[in-house]
Amino acid sequence: MFKTLRNAWRIPELRRKMLITLAILFLYRVGCYIPVPFVELSGMADYVNNSNPLLSLLNMISGGAIEKFTLFALGISPYITASIIMQLLTVAIPKLGRMAKEDEDGRQKINKITRYATIGLALVESVGFIFTLQSAEVLPTLNWFTFSTIAVAITGGCCLVMWMGEKITQKGVGNGISLMIFISIVARMPTYGASLYNTWNSRNNLWMLVIIAIFFLLMVGVITFVDLGQRRITVNYAKQQRGRKLYGGQTTHLPIKVNSASVLPIIFSMSFLMVPRLIAGYFNEASGFAQFVNRWLVGGWVYITLYCLLIFGFTFFYNSITVDPKDIAQNLQQNGGFIQGIRPGKTTSDYIARVTNRLTFFCAIFLVAVAAIPLAFQGAGDTTMAQVFQASSILIMVSVALETSRQLESQMLVRNYRGFLG
């Protein structure tokens, strides 16, 4: 990757895009330190990092903006939620599905709807965020003017982050939203490193830091290996004569990613399990519902079992809506393609579905194993280690770094072709 960055920096056009990307990311990080007006926090960092797993994850994705309660406290999470909802709706509603597949105008309409949905979700999340902090007695009771000002400020900050991310995508390098999440997670790593150093230095056991670093690099390497993994199905194209020319007769591959769901099943599962805790926050602690949630859904073997089962189920669910074997088989048949030894049509669709299900099963087991590592540290009472080895953050960092590197390589390849053609 470093070689790709060095080669891209030598090209003036790509260097300009990289500078634009770095400038917007710098402004984004500056915004993560601008405080929201009328707020004086006490115990916010402790509540976010130790008492609320979902807020701890969102705090990592926002680069620590939540624990500081800054203008970019919501980060880009409402946009991610709106994008996922729209992706699910394109599968559930045929009209939206045709709009997303047809042309550029249809995709622009989908993006416009996503932006409006982001604003609505940001407003709802900001209000819920303030209510949650008040119920936890982190924030004092606010009057309507102060409450509205804080909610509007946080919502406006989310809209600004969304605009900055789209500008990176249009005029910079890589996906702007993904890069913002990436830089936020990387920005938290020095804090975790310093905390680990202070912990093991006080115990006079600095060799443990070496073991932790080796284990972290090993985990990153395994995740990278799985993320790059593909199952390539050989596809042959029959020869077709059109006029006086003969087309086809080629052999290519149909690549199917091993980890096509990426980090989404883990985020879905964590969010799903946080819903009862958020609801219980509005009840008296002595109520039966609150006691049930605090006993069974806050750590313990029941929480871990449900968490793993939800990751497993959401992995199959997400792959079922993103990979359509019937559509792939139909496209192959229309273009004269076939899999060796497999009949076109339904037989091809069943074969692709069988291969996809096997890969999804492996992907689900892999995600459960990776997600169980921070839970083990959290069960041992080491919250810093649990945050360092947070599966979602490492998966995001690896996937974004690989995707940005691939985009840089493709842009350099296009430029070389242009130079060759003159």
In the predicted structure, residue 278 carries a pLDDT above the cut 70 = no
pTM of the predicted model, to two decimals? 0.79
Rounded Cα gap, residues 128 and 60, in angstroms: 19
- Structural domains in the chain? 1-188 (1.10.3370.10)
The position carrying tokens 């490193």 is 193
Q: Is the pLDDT of residue 419 over 70?
A: no
Rounded Cα distance between 277 and 274, Å, is 5
CB half-sphere exposure, 357, CA atoms < 13 A: 7
pLDDT above 90 covers a percentage of the chain that reads 5
Angle formed at CA 311 by CA 306 and CA 315, multiple of 5 degrees:
150
Per residue in 232-272, pLDDT (tens digit) is: 888 887 766 566 666 556 788 888 888 887 777 887 787 77
The pLDDT tens digits of the residues spanning 23-62 come to 999 999 988 888 888 777 666 777 776 666 667 767 777 7
Nearest to 73 by CA among 187, 156, 164, 169: 156
